[in-house]
Structure 1
Amino acid sequence: MTTPSNDPLHGVTLQGILEALVAHYEWSGLAERIDIRCFKSDPSIKSSLTFLRKTPWAREKVEALYIKLQRSKRPV
């Protein structure tokens, strides 16, 4: 029997995280929360994924925002 993972990012791709954040905040809201040029200047999923895969500090911020969003959506 497999125990479910407590990791909120388990089974979620970086692309899925980014798409969920863009769907919720839109690019402008995402750029306000995380100061990254690829969110401000001609943003796209593809260019953002390329940047985030090469930049650990930026990826950590995106993942943290995603976790915060998922926690706020959970019913209490």
Structure 2
Amino acid sequence: MNPTQPNRSLPQPNNPLHGVTLESMLNYLVAEYGWGELGQRIRIRCFTNDPSIKSSLKFLRKTDWARAKVEGLYLHSIRYDDQHRSQHSDYHESPRVTPSVWD
């Protein structure tokens, strides 16, 4: 292994973004908020003027500060979803079926 090059195959158990592509983050955020609200939360023109996944990815891959904002909102959103899901898991679990004495 060359010490000047990072080893990209090392696992990153503490990095919640490890293995998550920018495209999947963007698709999640668009599904979660829609382009309108996403453009209000992160004020960049690729989200407000004729938005598309392709044009947004092109901009975000070149612009570190914008990508950081998208990653931050994504992390916030998935943490909220996880917390909300665990708090309300009792309501969404399927009822337990006990076997009948006749089975």
Q: TM-score, normalised by structure 2?
A: 0.69
Tell me how large the CA RMSD over aligned residues is.
1.6
Larger Rg, first or second structure (1 or 2): 2
**Matching residue of 2:53:** 45
Aligned counterparts, 1:1-76, within 5 A: 5-74=13-82, 75-76=86-87
**Which residue identity does 2:64 align to in structure 1?**
P
Q: Higher relative contact order at CA 8 Å, sep ≥6: structure 1 or structure 2?
A: 1
Q: TM-score, normalised by structure 1?
A: 0.92
Aligned residue-pair number: 75
Gaps of 5+ in 2: 1-10, 88-103
Greater than 4 Å deviation, 4+ residue runs: none
Distance, in Å, in 1 between the alignment partners of 2:61 and 2:74 is 16
Gaps of 5+ in 1: none
Q: How much identity, in percent, do the aligned residues show?
A: 58
* Cα pair distance change 1:51/1:4, threshold 3 Å: closer
